[in-house]
Amino acid sequence: MANDPIIIIGAGQCGQKATETLRQQGYEGGLVLIGDEPHAPYQRPPLSKAFLKGEMSLERLMLKGPDYFDQFNIDARLSRWVESIDPAGRRVLLHGGESVAYSKLLLATGTRSRKIPVLPGLDLEGVHYMRTIADVQAIMQALKPETRIAIIGGGYIGLEVASALRSFKHDVTVIEGMERVLQRVVCPQLSDYFHRLHSSRGVAIHVNAVLEAIEGAGRVERIRLRDGQEIDTDMVLMAVGAEPVCELAEQAGLTIENGVSTDETCRTSDPNIYAAGDCSSFFSKRYQRHIRLESVQNAIDQGKHAAGAMLGSAEVYDPVPWFWSDQYEIKLQIAGLSQGYDRTEVEGDETEDAFAVRYFAGDRLLCVDAVNMPRAHMMARRELANLD
Ligand SMILES: Cc1cc2nc3c(=O)[nH]c(=O)nc-3n(C[C@H](O)[C@H](O)[C@H](O)COP(=O)(O)OP(=O)(O)OC[C@H]3O[C@@H](n4cnc5c(N)ncnc54)[C@H](O)[C@@H]3O)c2cc1C
């Protein structure tokens, strides 16, 4: 059993980083990376930005060169789906019947686009999502000059897509169910800033607007909102968030807590199974609770960390979370988590599109959102890392 390979399920950014780290830290045993997508591990952030705008090739999305698997002696099984885990027998079962034994297992299964299960019209032609290369290729293929697009969800991905598609002069409408765009993640001042930014570039934004149905004969023709309003459209992008892919963990009897629950060393409730990246809900010493992050920072850092833990390290994973979003020529960079803030302070000049919002709970700094101020972002990461 100890001679069985380490298996990583999920060939995304986190799974890739874990394979690289295992080899860099001297692990010479068998290493199996299983992912259901046909592509080698790639970066997702450009999907809603440069790749969608046609400014980045498929090749440049890839995290590593074509010889990576050979060079690092990785048994990569792409286009393969893992059906189940047998934790007692330490085996994973692949679709098609193959079963592979493991010594340690890392779940890096990520998230998937959230679906609204009972929404009428969701299966019409012209309804799209934004998670994978295949999703973006389907959108690009469907876009014709002057296509009208309704984006459901005014979060980061919805707004990034709005900005990318406005550069081709498409007619873009954003439907947001809450009072303001980005409501779950930023303060009202920043929501207003981004609302104004998009409106000034020609995006029609509807807030407090609940989608009731997508309608059309076979393909999308219009959306209907709860207040009765109908908006004609050729395409719908569902951008209403993501949910952790936890079925394997659930079926294996692992603890689930808005993601696969782990301790501060990325270990799940089974001592031979670890979880990292978007799918994991880890105990954070910094925040004294379980948190789940959907960011490149976390996918990379936790992937590295889980690799070390599988090789016996007891080091605690306790990062300062950070994230970014690109919309038009604006780069928003976020350090920390703003949840629980009771006041904000602003530095810089909003009218010059260069300012930072600092979020506090009492005197304690929680988070800094920097707009076109990379230096303020870097300093905030250092400042937050130095807080006890
Ligand atoms: C459009 C978009 C834009 C983004 N922009 C930013 C950004 O600007 N900044 C930022 O910090 N973050 C951004 N993110 C988030 C970031 O890309 C993710 O946090 C990161 O990719 C998570 O990596 P992961 O490896 O944990 O999961 P994923 O990338 O989701 O990889 C998991 C993989 O596992 C596969 N899988 C799942 N279950 C199985 C199974 N049973 N068998 C086989 N394979 C399986 C999945 O299909 C997937 O390929 C963006 C994400 C998207 C979608």
What's the pLDDT tens digit per position in 361-379?
999 999 999 999 999 999 9
Q: What is the mean pLDDT of residues 290-313?
A: 98
Question: Which of 247, 296, 298 to probe ligand 1 with, by most ligand atoms within 8 A of CB?
Answer: 296
Query: What pLDDT does residue 1 have?
Result: 73
Dihedral sign from CA coordinates of 32, 34, 40, 45:
negative
Q: For residue 242, how far is its CA from the centre of ligand 1 (angstroms)?
A: 10
Backbone angles phi, psi at 42, to 5 degrees: -135, 165
Q: How far is the CA of 114 from the centre of ligand 1 (A)?
A: 13
Q: Which atom of ligand 1 is nearest to the CA of 296?
A: 11
Over residues 69-85, mean pLDDT:
98
pLDDT score recorded for residue 12: 98
pLDDT of residue 242: 97
pLDDT digits (tens, 9 = 90+) for 188-237: 999 999 999 999 999 999 999 999 999 999 999 999 999 999 999 999 99
Q: How far is the CA of 298 from the centre of ligand 1 (A)?
A: 11
This prediction's pTM: 0.97
Q: Classify 339 as helix, strand or coil.
A: coil
Residue 335 is predicted with a pLDDT of 98
- Strand-strand pairing, 235-238 and 127-128: parallel
Contact 12, 299 (CB under 8 A): yes
Rounded average pLDDT over 246-265: 97
Distances (CA, A) of 150 to 32, 126, 154, 177, 343: 41, 10, 11, 13, 34
Instruction: Give the binding-site residues of ligand 1, using a 6 Å CB cut-off.
Output: 9-15, 34-37, 44-45, 47-48, 81-82, 108-111, 130-131, 157, 245, 248, 277-278, 294-297, 299, 323-325
**CA atoms of 181 and 183, how far apart (whole Å):** 5
261, with CB counted inside 10 A (0-12, 13-18, 19+), is buried
| Alpha carbon nearest to ligand 1 atom 27, residue | 110
Average pLDDT, the chain: 97
- Residue 388: is its pLDDT beyond 80? no
Residues 336, 337, 338: CA angle, nearest 5 degrees: 120
pLDDT reading at 53 higher than 90: yes
- Residue owning the nearest CA to atom 17 of ligand 1: 44
Which one of 182, 238, 278 would you pick to mutate in the ligand 1 pocket, going by the greatest count of ligand atoms within 8 A of its CB? 278
Minimum CA distance residue for ligand 1 atom 19: 295
Q: Is the pLDDT of residue 249 over 80?
A: yes
Residue range 26-43: mean pLDDT, rounded? 98
Contact present, 236 and 152 (Cβ < 8 Å)? yes
Rounded distance from Cα 375 to ligand 1 centre (Å): 27
Q: Give the Å distance between the CA of 208 and the centre of ligand 1.
A: 29
Mutate-to-test residue for ligand 1 from 7, 294, 333, highest number of ligand atoms within 8 A of CB: 294
- Mutation choice for ligand 1 from 43, 109, 136, CB with most ligand atoms inside 8 A: 109
| CA gap 256, 253 in Å, rounded | 9
pLDDT band at residue 360 using 50, 70 and 90 as cut-offs: very high
CA 145 – ligand 1 centroid, Å: 30
Map out the domains of the chain with their CATH numbers. 6-112+243-310 (3.50.50.60), 127-240 (3.50.50.60), 329-385 (3.30.390.30)
